[in-house]
Amino acid sequence: MYPSPEHTWRPGARTFYWCSAIAVMLIWLTPIFLLLNTALKSNEQINAEQGAKFTIPAPLLPEGFWVLLGNPAFWSSMVYSFLVVLPVVCVAVSFATLAGYVLAKHKFLGRTWLFAIFVAGNFVPFQVLTFPVLRMMQDLGFGDWSPYNTLWALILFHGAFQTGFCVFFMRNFIAALPTELIEAARMEGANEFQVFWNVILPLLRPALAALGLLIFTFVWNDFYWSLVLTQGDLMLVPTQLVNLASGQWQNRWNVMAGGAIIVALPPLIFFFFLQRQFVAGLTLGARKG
């Protein structure tokens, strides 16, 4: 283990370690404390103080939260966010698991290239996709219906874009599973679908959970695509928050702070309850070598 456990250190070094660790944590959390502090103040107090600083909220008012929770546009954005995120997670994870299995365990010409394409596509600055995707969303569809400015546009795009990361993740996870299991199942006469369903899938449960959480967080936090592909009330919740904060609630700092906290809550709740899955998902590959 590096560094060596702190209880084996000299007393002076231990004191220094603990002091610095606590100090670093306090500095690290200062912006968060300021946000919480601001969210709990009344509008009058913030105006009198002309900004956000560490003072005791008097009166202690969670006004910032109430204003937003009473706003229909914000509420519906919250619902829309879930309506987009959940299908995206399902589509991206299931498609990528199928593809990841083949890329990991089948040997065929061009397999490396195909994998490389998924990885590379996942790395592009996604802004380069903006105008063609926008045009496609306006051009796709039936009759005079097109996915532009509906939740379908966001579901389609995010589903596709996240598939890249999911394929990368799943391929690496499945590649680490023992090939003998698959060989054995094939000897028993199982076809590829049975191998996938009965042998691979049960082993993937932890990976599916981790990946689902990551994709949930990525898509929930997205700001850009909702700005480009939807307008008005259909915006997802981070975009709606910025929209409201630059319009209706300009300079209402407690409302902005409360809104930021509400937007951050769903991923945070998942993170604190399922921390191990999160960390395991993120560090796939970091342990290798």
Which residues ranging from 113 to 152 are in contact with another protein (CB under 8 A)?
114-121, 123-133, 135-136, 138-144, 146
Single-letter amino acid code for the residue at 120: A
State the minimum distance, in angstroms, from the CB of residue 103 to another protein. 8
User: In this complex, which beta carbon is closest to another protein, that of residue 83 or of residue 245?
Assistant: 245
Give the 3-state secondary structure of residue 130: helix
Q: Toward another protein, which CB reaches closer, 24 or 184?
A: 24
CA distances from 237 to 36, 54, 80 (A): 19, 28, 8
| Number of residues engaging another protein in binding (CB under 8 A) | 117
Measured CA to CA, the distance from residue 70 to residue 39 in angstroms comes to 16
Stretch that binds another protein, among 59-67, 82-90, 165-173, 201-209 (CB under 8 A): 165-173
For residue 145, report the phi and psi dihedrals to the nearest 5 degrees: -90, 130
What one-letter code names the amino acid at 75? Answer: W
Cα gap 265→245, rounded to integer Å: 18
Burial of 283 from C-beta contacts in 10 A (0-12 / 13-18 / 19+)? exposed
Burial (0-12, 13-18, 19+ Cβ within 10 Å), 168: buried
Tokens encoding 237: 């919740």
Q: How far is the CB of 194 from another protein (least distance, A)?
A: 10
**Piece in contact with another protein (CB under 8 A), picked from 63-71, 82-90, 110-118, 204-212:** 110-118
From 64, 87, 159, 212, residue interacting with another protein (rule: CB under 8 A): 159
Q: Which is nearer to another protein, 47 or 59 (CB)?
A: 47
Output the smallest distance, CB 213 to another protein, in A.
9
Q: Which of residues 261-280 bind another protein (CB under 8 A)?
A: 261, 263-264, 267-268, 270-272, 275, 278-279
Q: Which is nearer to another protein, 20 or 248 (CB)?
A: 20
Would you say 152 and 91 are in contact if contact means Cβ atoms under 8 Å apart? Answer: no
12 is a site residue for another protein (CB under 8 A): no
Contact present, 154 and 238 (Cβ < 8 Å): no
The site map against another protein for 192-211 (x = CB under 8 A) is: xx--x---------------
7 touches another protein (CB under 8 A) = yes
Within 42-101, which residues bind another protein (CB under 8 A)? 49-55, 91, 95-96, 98-99, 101
Q: Do residues 71 and 51 make contact, with C-beta atoms less than 8 angstroms apart? A: no
Q: Tokens representing 56?
A: 């005791």
Q: Is 244 in the site for another protein (CB under 8 A)?
A: no
